[in-house]
Chains A and B, each alone.
Chain A
Amino acid sequence: MLIQLTDIHRTYQVGQEKVHALQGVSIGIEKGEWVAIIGQSGSGKSTLMNVIGCLDTPTSGRYMLNGKDVSHMVDDELADIRNREIGFIFQNFQLLPRETALANVELPLVYRGVGAKERRAKAIEALKAVRLEERMSHKPNELSGGQRQRVAIARALAGEPSLLLADEPTGNLDSATGEEIVKLFETLHGQGHTLVLVTHEPKLAARCPRAVRLSDGHVVADGPGAQVARA
């Protein structure tokens, strides 16, 4: 099991009130799976993504990632886990605007301490995987939305993480460009990558082999994408 979440709670304190974003989530994800997380706005999808991505720590519960218990890790250890195990893909791309596509893709390798030559080679390889190697010296504002998201995917791939995490990756793209990205995910899934994808589009979720539906911080459905998306 690559991911094993057991009874995960995440509670925010807002003034006097407590917001229970996750209320006892337990799911397991195997290596090579492609899982969509769906649910109404405010159901806790992003919160779950942040927990899985080790950007956020659960209030209670146990999280085993790749055999390691990350629920009680300190900040530096979590940074290392994010660097080695996770590849993030965000809705609004989150590229560094002043850096070239290549430099953006190199970034996770920089923080891993990989030497300049090897870093460059790996980054170019990742850009090739998203068919953007000719644009590697362009800055983000010189690229289209779809191209930007492909740079972001290349960045997520560059570090060869065990898990790709995407939060609404097509949310800022038109449907044709979104389709391009989904095709890319299908290719990556075919190559054996593990993908967890947050989306509110039932059509997209239906194309995933597996989907998990959240409601009010609870898992209310978990099964084949086409089935869960319809419900």
Chain B
Amino acid sequence: MSFRVDFIEGSRIALRSLSAHRLRTVLTTVGVGIGVATLLAILGIIQGLNTSFEKQLETIGPSSLYVSKRPWVQMGNWWEFRNRKNITMEQVEAVRAQSTFAEAVAPWMSNEEDISFNGIDLSAVDITGTTPEYAQVGGYDVTQGRFLTGSDDDNLASVAVIGADVASTLFPHSSPLGARIRVNGRPFAVVGVLAAKGKVLDENQDLTVLIPLKTFRALHNGYRSHTIGVKVRSPELLDAAEDELVGILRRARQTPPSKPDDFAINRAEQLAGVYNQLTGALYGVAVAIGFITLLVGGIGIMNIMLVSVRERTREIGVRRALGAKKRTIVLQFILEAVVVSAVGGLLGTIVGLLGAKVVSWVTPLAATVKASTVFFGVGFAAAVGLVFGIWPAARAANLDPVEALRHE
């Protein structure tokens, strides 16, 4: 007897047996469904979080390199980083002159300061002194007015381009353009407003004030280190551009060949590492909970299959007496388990996806679901049925036909 015949007959028997015990089938199905739903909802939320983080990362420029004294993600000796030589304007010029991959190079310095307008105060706002190229490097757009210009810098103008949140806080009812805000007590004329960018790992990119670099330097007498933002022509060139930058900077900083780099070249990807570190363990636990729920569903299936085998012992004996082989019986019971689980998987998938959607409506968590998740849900449930159906099915097939026929 061929597998095809076994399969057709097995499926028919499985469906008949399932419809004969509707309540039991429904309960078992629900068990698997809950497991799959939990797992998928968790996976959906995790996928959503990851996607929204990836979007955040894009706001800080996926094709930019950031040269600074210290790496963003610090590992090792803080004192060693602190004692490094500052990044100077000469080094900025060297990068501008020599980098072949750079599309735009922007130096900047920043500090947290208090600002105010018309009696409204904002403390600890990021004040950044920079040049016009900053817009390109950091991917900033202007919604009102204009960005900083070269002549703002040459003239040490007291002008400011403000972030979206600064604008909405200080100017709830009026246009900020032309207004004079105070930064650390000094007046600055607002010439532009930046488009909103959102947060990256809790750092609000919209709570910022940009002023000309030379103006910033004049206000902060102390000698500070620059950060150099380098926008590369395309993201694939990041590695080559980084190698080139290392060479340029080592020469400009006269780093002895025997010493390691005394500066850091950062990129958005590095933050992904931090993110993964922060969230990885949490995700692991969440997924494990989902799997345990599914495991409980699987044990439910095994239990019901064992009951089914016991109830149908005589039937098994009859089938064996009439010529059914062991593998035919195995297939019959496994199909029964797989059908229950797959149906449960399908229902669970639908509920899980809805659950993830509901979570994204009622909480700030964004849940996204890939099409592959659906196949995963149904396929995984079917696999659970297979695994937990094997043992009961094997028990059924290994019954002695004579004993089985005598079973009450």
Decide if A53 touches B5 in the complex (CB within 8 Å).
Answer: no
A76 to B323, CA, bound (A): 9
Closest to A79 in B: B325
Closest to B405 in A: A94
State how many angstroms separate the Cβ of B346 from the closest Cβ of chain A: 26
A90 to B322, CA, bound (A): 12
Complex interface: chain A residues within 8 A of B322 (CB): 82-83, 88, 107-108, 111, 155
Q: Does A98 contact B (CB under 8 A)?
A: yes
Decide if B318 touches A108 in the complex (CB within 8 Å).
Answer: no
Which of A53, A76, A88, A98 lies in contact with B16, CB distance below 8 A?
A98
Which of A50, A56, A95, A111 lies in contact with B323, CB distance below 8 A?
A111
Closest to B322 in A: A108
Q: Does A110 contact B (CB under 8 A)?
A: yes
**Quick one: CB contact mask for A126-153 with B, threshold 8 Å, 1 for yes?**
0000000000000000000000000000
Decide if B9 touches A79 in the complex (CB within 8 Å).
Answer: no
Complex interface: chain A residues within 8 A of B23 (CB): none
Decide if A96 touches B323 in the complex (CB within 8 Å).
Answer: no
Q: Does B69 contact A (CB under 8 A)?
A: no
Decide if B402 touches A56 in the complex (CB within 8 Å).
Answer: yes
Decide if B318 touches A50 in the complex (CB within 8 Å).
Answer: no
State how many angstroms separate the Cβ of B369 from the closest Cβ of chain A: 40
Decide if B1 touches A112 in the complex (CB within 8 Å).
Answer: yes
**Quick one: CB contact mask for A82-111 with B, threshold 8 Å, 1 for yes?**
111000101000111010000000011011
Closest to B317 in A: A94
Decide if A111 touches B321 in the complex (CB within 8 Å).
Answer: no
Within 8 A of B (CB), among A16-75: 50, 53, 55-56, 75
Complex interface: chain A residues within 8 A of B402 (CB): 50, 55-56
Within 8 A of A (CB), among B279-329: 314-315, 317-326, 328
Closest to B19 in A: A98
**How would you classify the secondary structure of chain B's contact residues: helix, strand, loop or mixed?**
helix
A108 to B324, CA, bound (A): 8
Closest to B323 in A: A83
A71 to B229, CA, bound (A): 87
Decide if B328 touches A111 in the complex (CB within 8 Å).
Answer: yes
Complex interface: chain B residues within 8 A of A15 (CB): none
Contacts A50-B402, A55-B401: A111 and B324 contacting too (C-beta < 8 A)?
A: yes
**Quick one: CB contact mask for B1-15 with A, threshold 8 Å, 1 for yes?**
110010001000000
Decide if B321 touches A113 in the complex (CB within 8 Å).
Answer: no
Complex interface: chain B residues within 8 A of A53 (CB): 321
Closest to A47 in B: B402
Interface residue total, chain B, C-beta cutoff 8 A: 22
Q: Does A118 contact B (CB under 8 A)?
A: no
A53 to B319, CA, bound (A): 14
State how many angstroms separate the Cβ of A157 from the closest Cβ of chain B: 13
Q: Does B218 contact A (CB under 8 A)?
A: no
Decide if B2 touches A76 in the complex (CB within 8 Å).
Answer: no
Contacts A96-B318, A111-B1: A76 and B9 contacting too (C-beta < 8 A)?
A: no
Closest to B398 in A: A75
Within 8 A of A (CB), among B355-408: 401-402, 405
Decide if B314 touches A98 in the complex (CB within 8 Å).
Answer: no
State how many angstroms separate the Cβ of A116 from the closest Cβ of chain B: 9
Most interface-central of A95, A110, A113 (chain B CB within 10 A):
A110
Q: Does B278 contact A (CB under 8 A)?
A: no
Decide if B326 touches A75 in the complex (CB within 8 Å).
Answer: yes
Q: Does A179 contact B (CB under 8 A)?
A: no
Complex interface: chain A residues within 8 A of B219 (CB): none
Contacts A55-B402, A90-B405: A80 and B16 contacting too (C-beta < 8 A)?
A: no
Closest to A99 in B: B16
A96 to B314, CA, bound (A): 9
State how many angstroms separate the Cβ of A85 from the closest Cβ of chain B: 10
Closest to A53 in B: B321
Decide if B5 touches A55 in the complex (CB within 8 Å).
Answer: no
Q: Does B20 contact A (CB under 8 A)?
A: yes
Complex interface: chain B residues within 8 A of A108 (CB): 322-323
10 new A-B contacts, CB < 8 A, other than A111-B323, A112-B1, A113-B2, are A50-B402, A79-B324, A79-B325, A79-B326, A96-B318, A107-B319, A108-B322, A111-B322, A111-B325, A155-B322
Across the A-B interface, the 9 shortest Cβ-Cβ residue pairs: A83-B323, A111-B323, A113-B1, A79-B325, A108-B322, A113-B5, A94-B318, A55-B401, A82-B323
Write 23 A-B pairs (CB below 8 A) sorted by A numbering.
Answer: A53-B321, A55-B401, A75-B325, A76-B326, A79-B320, A79-B324, A79-B325, A80-B323, A82-B320, A82-B322, A83-B322, A88-B322, A94-B317, A94-B321, A96-B318, A98-B20, A107-B318, A108-B322, A111-B319, A111-B328, A112-B323, A113-B2, A113-B5
